[in-house]
Amino acid sequence: MSGERILVVDDEERMLQLLDKLLTGEGYEVRTASNAGDALRILGETDYNLVISDVRMPGMDGMSLLRSLSEQGSAAAVIMMTAYASVTAAVEAIQAGAFDYLTKPFKIDEMLLAVRQSLETHHLRREVKSLREEVHARYGLDNIIGKSKAITQVFDMVKRIAKTQSTILIEGKSGTGKELVAKALHFHSKRNEMPFVAVNCSAIPETLMESELFGHTKGSFTGAVSNHKGLFEEADGGTLFLDEVGEVPTSIQVKMLRALQEREIRRIGGRENISIDVRVIAATNRNLEEMVKEGTFREDLYYRLNVIPILLPELRERSEDVILLADHFVRKFCGQNGVPVKKISKTALERLMEYRWPGNVRELENVIERTVALSEGEVIDLDDIPPTINGGGGSVPRIGSDMSLDEIERLHIESVLRRVGGHQIRASGVLGIDRRTLYRKLIKYGLKPASEDRDSAVK
């Protein structure tokens, strides 16, 4: 902790000299002030990590100095010291924001311990503040790029409903940014200091889903060697994001409904109900209303989830945002690769805007990352864009073609499968969809699925 800046404030010259010598000997950078007015002036000129102040001083006393620092939003930790200690005064100082309250005469070891602990706490608070600012910057609305009418309507909706406690259903195709919106809702809500727990329901095997969501008790089944908290419990006080909720088996849907209705869950093998305070945000790329009609999704659960719906537009519906997004991703990946920011030529931008983007924003991000990595010049030109985008090598037809969207998507999936040698896992990653969704599309379009053996080889 050496090198930390400490300001000592006391009207007794001997105390200033003592602490100056003691703390300087420990490697701290020390400055002294004989009154609170001088201390405030010094603090206005330089940041200090710690202030050690006497309580009783002529003019502004130590408690007034402490309150003034708190009002000014000072990040410095504060230790108060006095020869006239009382429990009431100590409690008042701690409530006003002091880290510690020492009685004169104090022991040297006592003072040094208080200094070390206050500086450690100061750094932890700064780190927590910095992390929170980083998280809010990363998941705030400013991180969702776009100015089209379609996306600004989403912004307006998020701002209106973030502070509510209502359950939200986000609908949109794969790659439209459903989790990004869910995180923005959480970090603009009153629960933003509590956990945000995300789960991709399509990635959990049906046999494990109940345990993952609701937990289990020790010995409740083979392999249950200890009690296990489910994700509903993990998210207590915060937000649980159920991505691809349409993939939840009907056997689990009834238990999910109870959790939403009763605000309580029961672990597998448990005998007691556990109360939970969780805001649920669900997301799906499937049509849950059609699934209700087909009998594959419970109607009562659908209405419980669909309290406030948000429909995310596909990228082809907000083509004017392609330029903004492409520029954002170029800057992002140039920064990650440590190269100067590249420009995108006019012809390349025009082609990017003409493309239908069946994989939506995730596909655009994937394309820009690849292009930045492989392009050699300062300008990204048409030749730098992958053949599937710029019109060659099994490209998806441009706007103006007489082909349907399904035909365009089928051709794009075929092209990606060829590029990855038929591996479904790799293809789903490139397309920005989960493997089960890809498999359904292969069946839908009559494409021959890659063999399990080949996929297993790349796991």
- Tens digits of per-residue pLDDT, 336-385? 999 999 999 999 998 898 888 988 999 999 999 999 998 888 999 988 88
The pLDDT of residue 392 is: 45
Q: How far is CA 211 from CA 214, 220, 221, 447, in A?
A: 5, 10, 10, 35
On average, the pLDDT of the chain sits at 86
Average pLDDT over residues 290-317: 95
Does the structure show a pLDDT above 90 at 169?
A: yes
Tell me the C-alpha distance between 455 and 266, whole Å.
37
The pLDDT of residue 207 is: 87
Whether 210 contacts 232, CB under 8 Å: no
The string of pLDDT tens digits covering residues 93-110 is: 888 888 888 888 889 999
The pLDDT of residue 121 is: 83
pLDDT band at residue 402 using 50, 70 and 90 as cut-offs: low
pLDDT band at residue 456 using 50, 70 and 90 as cut-offs: very low
Tell me the C-alpha distance between 240 and 198, whole Å.
6
The pLDDT of residue 82 is: 86
Q: How far is CA 231 from CA 239, 271, 272, 408, in A?
A: 10, 18, 17, 38
The pLDDT of residue 394 is: 37
Tell me the C-alpha distance between 73 and 295, whole Å.
57
Average pLDDT over residues 417-441: 79
Does the structure show a pLDDT above 60 at 453?
A: no
**pTM (two decimals):** 0.62
pLDDT band at residue 134 using 50, 70 and 90 as cut-offs: low
Tell me the C-alpha distance between 367 and 349, whole Å.
13
Does the structure show a pLDDT above 50 at 454?
A: no
From 46-60, 113-127, 264-278, 445-459, the region with the lowest mean pLDDT: 445-459
pLDDT band at residue 450 using 50, 70 and 90 as cut-offs: very low
pLDDT band at residue 414 using 50, 70 and 90 as cut-offs: confident
Whether 445 contacts 410, CB under 8 Å: yes
